């Protein structure tokens, strides 16, 4: 520093000393601009429920800082948690089912607002001894309520697809839970619940969690009752089985394409940081994926996808429309009208063909 200023012919004015608050600036509010959207500073002894300000410029901060549990070579010897919890931020939780409890290893999302909580999807195993989802959610809710000075908070359980047995099995664990609304599974009743009976599959609905309003977008295509959820706080789009980094088994290719196009229109109007799907089946090398029923997936791709993938999916959904074929892309694979175990020798042009090492 001294050498720089000595060699410089016109030394710059010395910047004013920066204030230094080793224990935090007591003059600043609880949520100063940089951390405005986190509630990391909550009153120690809240007299009344803490009301969080969910309005923010841009996506709320948060990260998926942990690696997902990925099963083990010997599935019977796996000792990972049955439900892995990763806290994205103080009001957003991502839960993953252990690969060795069920190979589908679905992701489940728990979102909190000032007046309610939303659980998106419920996992692939009904037996609470093998997959204690209810117990885990109860624990997170209790802890959140404690931090926010509440006795309880109403919970809504919604599914990205009522018919998908990789996502609806845990629902039975929530039967009879007090203060819980379960979105009905059958398509007709579900449409009525969301108020989409007349407009399905266009139009959107909303689930108000209290200053955090989740939008419900009908997205049939992989399942005839598929819906996606948009969270305007984190700017996440929860796409379930419609678009995820894995083997996308298309249920109806016309619906699939039109749902993607509706998602694209939606994404043009709303800011989207990530798409979060229901599973991960791709490896971290492009275009490679794990077979069905695999209980050891050490080289998984990350869960999050960027919104540009909607455009890529649209292009390739058009390519497979009306044909019985599979199509490999770097971040997902489309299966239209073929067996979920279909294989192909066609490799996408311009994508490096890398083999991940085979674990012994």
Partner 1 sequence: MDRRTFLAHNAAVAAVPLTGAAFTAATDAASAATRPAPIDFRSNLPAAGAFPKRWICGSSSCMDNTDPPVQVHWYNPHTAILRQNKAYSYEAPFAPLYFGNDRVLLLDEGYVQLRNDCDYRAVVDQCIDEWCRRNGRDPASLELLVAFTHLHADHYAATNQFADRPNTRCMGLTHEEMVGFWGMRNYPEERVTLDLGGREILIWGSPGHVVSEFAYYDSYTQILYTGDMFYRGRCYISFWQPWFDSMKRLIDFCDTHPVTHVMGCHVEISKDGQDYAYGMTWQPEEAPVEMTVDQLREAFSHAQKITQPGIYFTGTVFLCNQTRGTTTIDRNPYRYE
339 belongs to the binding site for partner 1 (CB under 8 A): yes
Of the residues 291, 311, 318, 348, which one makes contact with partner 1 according to CB under 8 A: 291
In the block, tokens 């931020």 appear at: 89
Number of alpha carbons in the 13 Å side-chain half-sphere of residue 175: 10
Closer of 125 and 156 to partner 1 (Cβ): 125
Per CB under 8 A, contacts with partner 1 among 95-124 are 98, 100-103
Of the residues 38, 181, 205, 252, which one makes contact with partner 1 according to CB under 8 A: 252
346 belongs to the binding site for partner 1 (CB under 8 A): no
CB of 293 to partner 1, least distance (A): 3
CB-based burial label for 151 (10 Å; 0-12, 13-18, 19+): exposed
- Long-range contacts of range 80-83, CB-CB < 8 Å, 24 or more positions apart? 82/130, 82/131, 82/132, 83/123, 83/131, 83/132, 83/133, 83/136
130 belongs to the binding site for partner 1 (CB under 8 A): yes
CB of 282 to partner 1, least distance (A): 17
Contact 336, 250 (CB under 8 A): yes
CB of 128 to partner 1, least distance (A): 11
CB of 205 to partner 1, least distance (A): 22
127 belongs to the binding site for partner 1 (CB under 8 A): yes
Of the residues 206, 270, 292, 318, which one makes contact with partner 1 according to CB under 8 A: 292
Contact 180, 148 (CB under 8 A): no
Phi, psi of 250 (to 5 degrees): -75, 130
* Part of the chain binding partner 1 (CB under 8 A), chosen from 52-60, 104-112, 220-228, 348-356: 220-228
DSSP 147-204: HTT-S---EEEE-S-SS-TTTSGGGGGGTT-TTEEE--SSHHHHHHHHT-TTTTTSS-
18 belongs to the binding site for partner 1 (CB under 8 A): no
CB of 207 to partner 1, least distance (A): 24
343's tokens: 């294989």
344's tokens: 């192909």
Binding site for partner 1 (CB under 8 A): 73-80, 82, 98, 100-103, 125, 127, 129-131, 163-164, 222-224, 249-252, 291-295, 335, 337-341, 343, 360
């Amino acid at each position: 520093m001294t050498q720089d200023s000595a060699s410089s012919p016109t030394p710059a004015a010395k910047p004013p000393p920066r204030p230094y608050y080793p224990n935090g600036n007591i003059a600043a509010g609880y949520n100063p601009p940089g951390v405005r959207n986190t509630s990391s500073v909550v009153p120690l002894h809240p007299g009344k429920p803490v009301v969080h300000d969910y309005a923010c410029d841009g996506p709320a901060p948060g990260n998926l800082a942990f690696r997902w549990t990925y099963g083990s070579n010997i599935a019977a010897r796996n000792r990972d948690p049955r439900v892995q919890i990763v806290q994205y931020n103080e009001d957003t939780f991502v839960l993953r089912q252990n690969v060795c409890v069920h190979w589908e290893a679905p992701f489940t999302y728990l979102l909190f607002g000032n007046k309610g909580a939303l659980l998106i999807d419920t996992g692939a195993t009904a037996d609470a001894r093998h997959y204690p989802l209810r117990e885990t959610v109860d624990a997170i809710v209790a802890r959140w309520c404690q931090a926010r000075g509440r006795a309880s908070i109403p919970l809504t359980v919604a599914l990205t697809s009522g018919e998908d047995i990789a996502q609806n099995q845990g629902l039975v664990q929530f039967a009879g839970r007090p203060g819980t609304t379960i979105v009905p599974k059958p398509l007709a009743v579900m449409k009525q619940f969301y108020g989409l009976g007349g407009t399905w599959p266009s139009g959107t609905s909303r689930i108000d969690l209290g200053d955090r309003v989740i939008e419900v977008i009908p997205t049939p295509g992989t399942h005839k009752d598929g819906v996606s959820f948009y969270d305007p706080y984190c700017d996440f789009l929860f796409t379930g089985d419609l678009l995820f980094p894995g083997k996308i088994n298309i249920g109806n290719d016309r619906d699939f394409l039109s749902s993607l196009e509706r998602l694209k229109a939606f994404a043009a109007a709303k800011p989207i940081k990530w798409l979060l799907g229901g599973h991960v089946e791709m490896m971290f090398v492009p275009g490679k994926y794990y077979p069905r029923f695999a209980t050891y997936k050490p080289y998984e791709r990350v869960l999050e996808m960027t919104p540009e993938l909607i455009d890529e999916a649209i292009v390739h959904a058009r390519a497979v429309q009306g044909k019985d074929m599979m199509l490999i892309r770097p971040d997902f694979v489309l299966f239209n009208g073929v067996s979920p175990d279909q294989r192909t020798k066609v490799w996408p042009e311009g994508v490096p063909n890398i083999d991940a090492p085979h674990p012994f």
